[in-house]
Amino acid sequence: MTQEKAQESTILHVDMDAFYASVAELDHPELRGKAVVVGAGARGVVLSANYAARKFGIRAAMPVGRAQRMAPNAIFIAPDHHRYSEISERVMKIFESFTPLVEPISLDEAFLDVTGARKLLGTGREIATEIRARVEREEGITCSVGIAPSKFIAKLASQHCKPNGMLEITTDRILTFLHPLPVGAIWGVGPKTAEQLERLGLHTVADIANTPRSTLIRALGDAAGASLYELAWGRDYRDVTPEEPDKSISAAETFSTDLDNPIEILQEFLRMTEKATARLREKGLFAKTISIKVRFADFSTINRSKTLPLAIDSTHEVYEVVKALYLALKIDRARLRLVGVSLENLQDDSPEQLVLGAREKGWRDAEGAIDRAKARFGRGSVRPGRLIKAESDEEETD
């Protein structure tokens, strides 16, 4: 793509404001005005914090236990991923009503190329204004929008106008906006790279821009050095790419206390399998590769996977694979802090393997009926018997 074409483009980066926490306030209006943190269990991590909670220094990815010490009066709530996905899907449809060129980055943010929509819908600023109004009117939450000729600058702009703001950076303002920023503002500069740049005496984006490309390449390698130099001059010619198919679907749980009982661990694996396969079926997908993750008390982690001859979507069938992978580890009584299930190698359909003497109605039919019951009566209305018993036992010991 030529530089001229990139400069003529109008790219929006739309980012929901404290998305998970905003959804919690939407569903529970009594939380408005209070410090709200999404993240449960002292050993879990913060997934989102509203702006009242951020005043205490609470940030995403921070351990929940630390956040509780920083703001003991804050309200900590468990995440509701199904609800987030539901609202995210509707928000993405709002975006797609303005342009087919929508590239979701996560549940709560996306790039939009509205270059082709300008003749019909107005300037980038006018389109962004209407998007923000529709998201708030239809979904009851707010978003911030960055407007620029490229994805890189649009994302920086949205970060600088949060919460509930809009910022446009035109071509003639890019370097004025970009160069005073710290080196960590550049895409791909993490803590380690930032340390390397600091050692070179490079503190701002302008410092990087005024460093010879060859020096950056010697310090960081060919790809990283060249990319950093280009971005420091605001040059980013990547297209907005519409959503690609899901590459994997996963579910994981960090325990409040380490588990070493194999029966309890298998119950947790079943719980994670149920979550992951429910999402798989919601998307009409099948998985050919099943993976498990086990994290020990010392934080060491192992992963195991199995690829099947035919893709499957049944909780029962996936769990049989998960269970076999776990038992093959032979780690009885090892103390675990996390288990996870990942469904990979996803496909749109799967031929049913005919088994001589098999019942006419199988697990797929039964779980289809279960999914329909959950959709009508709630996700907790139908559960595997082993999980119901486990939860009853926990209540009796509380």
Residues 293 and 325 sit within 8 Å (Cβ to Cβ): no
Verify whether residue 8 is a known catalytic residue.
no
Which among 275, 344, 286 is positioned nearest to 310, based on CA atoms? 286
Establish whether 108 is an annotated binding residue. yes
At residue 12's C-alpha, the angle toward residues 10 and 18, to 5°, is 170
Distances (CA, A) of 206 to 60, 118, 181, 218, 388: 29, 32, 8, 19, 59
Cβ-proximal residues to 332 (8 Å cutoff; 6+ apart), any chain = 262
Alpha-carbon dihedral of residues 65, 70, 76, 81, nearest 10 degrees? Answer: -70
Rounded alpha-carbon distances, angstroms, from residue 315 to 345, 354, 359, 367: 16, 19, 18, 8
Q: Is 15 annotated as a binding residue?
A: yes
Distance CA(219)–CA(200), nearest Å, equals 9
Count of Cβ atoms closer than 10 Å to residue 383 Cβ: 17
| Selected catalytic residue, list 109, 268, 274, 317 | 109
Pair of tokens at residue 188: 């791909």
CA distance 19 to 140: 11
Site of tokens 């190698």: 345
Residues linked to residue 148 through DSSP beta bridges, in sequence order: 11
- Tokens 């087919």 correspond to 100
Q: Are 159 and 22 in contact (CB under 8 A)?
A: no
Name the phi and psi angles at 33, rounded to 5: 90, -10
Exposure string for 193-203, b = 16+ CB within 10 A, e = fewer: bbeebeebebe
Interhelix angle for 262-282 vs 363-377, to 10°? 80
Residues belonging to the binding site for Mg(2+) are 15, 108
Which residues are catalytically annotated?
109
